[in-house]
Structure formats: structure tokens, C-alpha cells
Chain A
Amino acid sequence: EVQLVESGGGLVQPGGSLRLSCAASGFTFSRYWMTWVRQAPGKGLEWVSNVNQDGSETYDVDSVRGRFTVSRDNAKNSVFLQLNSLRVEDTAVYFCARRVREVGLDFYDYWGQGTLVTVSS
């Protein structure tokens, strides 16, 4: 059974840092791209970042570029999101998801339950 479990969220002051983790199980982790998506309270979904199978390619949304860094450790079946210079508007539930990418197909099929990041003074 595929499982994704996020951790590392919490309350942090503006300008602070957090490191989110997503532990994967039930599939061959190193074969898949992984993704972070966030959702501010009462708002819609916002794609944040992707990382490829070996961590050599990453992509992120403009609003987090230079502040957030996605990485992975295939030996530990985990993907990470380092959040620096946090702003109040980064307050959200952060989900990790598995990306399936094949010719003509591209989708996020399994999601974790999310971890809440609250940025407030």
C-alpha cells in the first residue's frame, strides 16, 4: 500500500525556517518524481515544487523561489522541503504527492495527509 506521511510543520515567526519531511512507503521511491502542493486556510490548491527521481532537477513556483528548496534522500525514501524566510502568506497545509510521468500522461496519484505550517508573530 502506497503511503506518504508528512511531518515537520508547526508555528514559526516571520523570517523563520522549517524543514518539512515526507516519508514514502509501499512503492519504489527512487523511480518517481515527487511534488509539494500547499493550501492556505479556506483557499484552493497551489503547486509549490517538484523534484525528479535523483534530485538533479527541481522546479518551483515563483512565489517561493529563492526561499524554499526541495530535495530528496532515496536511501531514506524521503522528500524534503526546506522553508526559509517564511512569510505570513506561506501559512498553509503542505501536502506531498507522488508524480506519475509517462508519455502523454502526467498526474499526481497519491497524496499525504498534509502538515500545517503557521507563520505568525
Chain B
Amino acid sequence: DIQLTQSPSFLSASVGDSVTITCRASQDITTYVNWYQQKPGRAPNLLIYAAYVLHSGVPSRFRGDGSVTEFTLTISSLRPEDSATYYCQQLNSYPHNFGPGTQLEIK
């Protein structure tokens, strides 16, 4: 099975800042990585697919990058509503594992 790690596990930043979350895979997953945002008590929302493609309706402040085994999600010009947990997921092979998540706090 392909394992995903995320760093950091917790992030605290201020409104207007930029932050980057890293997702690392245990094997080459080309660009079959997606990023989701989840707020407490809600379903996940797709942000980025295929490593860097912005899902419809997602603000351009969100940017994905990377390939092979290392991927990043960068959020620029942070807003209070960006407070959430962010997960990467690989769909290169089964099981379609998620990373452990990164909790982002907006100060």
C-alpha cells in the first residue's frame, strides 16, 4: 500500500499570510494526488486534483504543485474561512489512502 505523510500536522497563521502544506508518498504516484478541505462537522470539499488543477469554484489563492512523491498545497492571502483541516489523497493505486491531515488555524 502507498502511505502518505503530511507536514506539518498543525499550522497557525494570520490573515493575509501564505502557508504551504507538504504531502509525501511512499512510492511514485505521478500526479494522482488530490487535496481536500474539511471543516468540523462537514463533508470534505475538493480543492485540487491531479496535483495542480484547481477544482471549479475554488479560489485561485489555493495552488497545488508537485509530482512523483512530493506534493504541496499553498494557500495565499489567508482568510478566516480557510481555518480547516486539509488532506491529501492518492488515487494512483488501491487503497486510495488519505494523508493524516493538517489542521490550519487562523489567528
Give A87-117 interface residues, CB cut-off 8 Å to B: 95, 100, 104-109, 111-114
Please name the residue on chain B nearest to A109 by beta carbon.
B46
Q: Is the CB of B49 within 8 A of A105?
A: yes
How far apart are A67's CB and chain B's nearest CB, in angstroms? Answer: 15
- Consensus secondary structure, chain B interface: loop
Report if A111-B50 is in contact (Cβ < 8 Å); known contacts: A46-B98, A47-B95, A61-B95. Answer: no
Number of interface residues of A (CB under 8 A): 23
Q: A47-B96, A104-B50 are contacts. A111–B44 as well, Cβ < 8 Å?
A: yes
A44 contacts the other chain (Cβ, under 8 Å)? yes
Residues of B within 8 A of A (CB): 31-32, 34, 36, 38, 42-46, 49-50, 53, 55, 85, 87, 89, 91, 94-101
